Amino acid sequence: MAEAAPGPQVVRWVKARVGPGRFRHIQGVARTAARLARRSGLSVPKALWAAWLHDSAKEMDRTLLLRWVGKSRGRMDPGEEGIPALWHPHAGVGLAREIWGIRDREILEAIRCHTLGSPGMAPVAQVIFVADFIEPGRHFPGVDRARAAAHRGLAGAVTLKCRMTIGHLMGNGRVVHPRLLETYNFFIGSGT
């Protein structure tokens, strides 16, 4: 399935499950991910599958989210279990597997890691992690700096996203999940 880009049926399916604002965000992530994948010599179809499905579960109620998390064949860590806003990547993996038959590890990893990242995540996951942050609909202080970093290279953009997100969370007195810190430490330590 990952050899071909998602067709119009996937777009319609996603559009039916999210509100207009979220749909515009997903469209922006898809455009940005395709551009980043192409520039990095990666599979554009894989990036597009992950982009279109990354937030497909974002607006589900908690009961339905947990049902799809259970179909993801992965486990949330205790930190994720305590933060419902972190459930949708796992539910998205469940939807990708069960509805679309996706078994490609790169696509599934990209969906699962788009919020917190993961130390050593593969390049397609880096593309989605960054594209989710810099898509054209994002407007926050520093977004232009993040976009410029993405044009220089994925690992540097991953590091900058982590740093900016950690700073934002801490500045607002919110919990920083350890995996976001681990992702930052891995990519800053990689010398990129």
What would the pLDDT profile of 35-66 be if each residue is shown by its tens digit? 999 999 999 999 999 999 999 999 999 998 88
pLDDT tens for 91-126 read 999 999 999 999 999 999 999 999 999 999 999 999
Inter-residue contact 40 to 123 (CB < 8 Å): yes
The conformation of residue 2, written as its DSSP 8-state character, comes to T
Q: How many whole angstroms from its chain centre is CA 129?
A: 4
Q: How far lies 179's CA from each of 50, 72, 130, 182, in Å?
A: 20, 19, 16, 5
Contacts of residue 191, Cβ cutoff 8 Å, sequence gap at least 6: none
Rounded to 5 degrees, what are φ and ψ at 104?
-65, 120
pLDDT tens for 76-87 read 888 888 888 999
| Residue that is written with structure tokens 């259970």 in the block | 70
Query: How would DSSP label each residue in 49-101?
Result: HHHHHTTTTTTS-HHHHHHHHHTTTS---HHHHT-GGGSHHHHHHHHHHHTT-
Is a pLDDT exceeding 80 seen at residue 190? no
Amino acid in the structure at residue 187: F
Query: Quick one: pLDDT band at residue 181, thresholds 50, 70, 90?
Result: very high
Contacts of residue 188, Cβ cutoff 8 Å, sequence gap at least 6: 159
Retrieve residue 139's tokens: 């407007």
Retrieve residue 102's tokens: 């996706």
Segment 127-137 shows an average pLDDT of 98
| Residue that is written with structure tokens 């990519």 in the block | 187
